[in-house]
Amino acid sequence: MFKLFSKSKERSSEQTSFGIVATDMHSHLLPGIDDGSQNMETTVQLIKGMMEKGFTKFITTPHIMWEMYQNTPDIINQKLDLVRERLKVENIDVEINAAAEYFLDDYVAGLLSKGEKLLTVKDNMVLSEFSLASAPHGLKEILFEMQMQGYQPIIAHPERYMYLERNKEFYEELKDIGCYFQLNLLSLAGHYGKTAQDLALHLMKKEYYDFVGTDLHHFRHLDGLDHPSINAHLIKLFASGKIKNATL
């Protein structure tokens, strides 16, 4: 763990500055509640590493994926309080808030049917994902119900739904119904494979992205943010004037 972090520090002169992004609105930094950071020490070191790269604010988004990670707003907020307390002890002055990455399935449909309040990135914006393996059923119905209840869906990492490479029209349908799109920065470096990278570039060309995030889980992701291709793409993204991270 610490060897990987030290490697990041040694390469600091080569790192992309993420000051242009400032707020990372998609990560898995709360310890021990999903497939991200597994303990408080890792959380602190990851936050330090991201601050060294230029990030100045975090909205971390643990999974709510009921078959695997049965997180609730209470669980997430209690863990957030512990992280804030630890950062204060460590004299790390940075703003960190928490929302969630909701996997849109029957469980979330049930939350909506009961009028349960969803965790939001800011105001009414809800970070949402669906199956990476196959086309989801009933997705539009859940998104419609979210919107009927006043929520603004943000589709997490749309470039990673690689089966859409053969059905790019679905992206247009999601945009037409008012969804925001969030890019995983590591997709620009080919971290998730060439298809995801190509889809990211396609969606960039269409100017479909509204937010960017790291989706950071561990030190390999932290090191991956140093990939040289990310910086050039970031400049293009922010030159479009479409990226809304500064509003968070």
DSSP assignment of 78-99, as one string?
HHHHHHHHHHHHTT---EEEE-
Structural domain contains residue 10: no
Q: Is 219 helix (H, G, I), strand (E, B) or coil?
A: helix
Give the domain extent around 99.
19-247
pLDDT of 104-137, one tens digit each? 999 999 999 999 999 999 999 999 999 999 988 8
Structural domain contains residue 11: no
pLDDT of 162-203, one tens digit each? 999 999 999 999 999 999 999 999 999 999 999 999 999 999
If we measure between CA atoms, which residue out of 109, 77, 114 comes closest to residue 96?
Answer: 77
Structural domain contains residue 8: no
pLDDT of 69-116, one tens digit each? 999 999 999 999 999 999 999 999 999 999 999 999 999 999 999 999
Q: Are 190 and 197 in contact (CB under 8 A)?
A: yes
**pLDDT at residue 84 in the model:** 98
- Give the list of residues 6+ apart from residue 57 with CB closer than 8 angstroms, or none: 22, 23, 24, 94, 95, 96, 248
DSSP 21: T
pTM listed for this prediction: 0.93
Instruction: Write the CATH number for 182.
Output: 3.20.20.140
Structural domain contains residue 13: no
Structural domain contains residue 159: yes
CB atoms within 10 A of CB 193: 12
Per-residue pLDDT at 39 exceeds 60: yes
Say how many Å lie between the first and final Cα of the chain, rounded: 31
Task: Tally the domains of the chain.
Answer: 1
Structural domain contains residue 37: yes
Structural domain contains residue 3: no
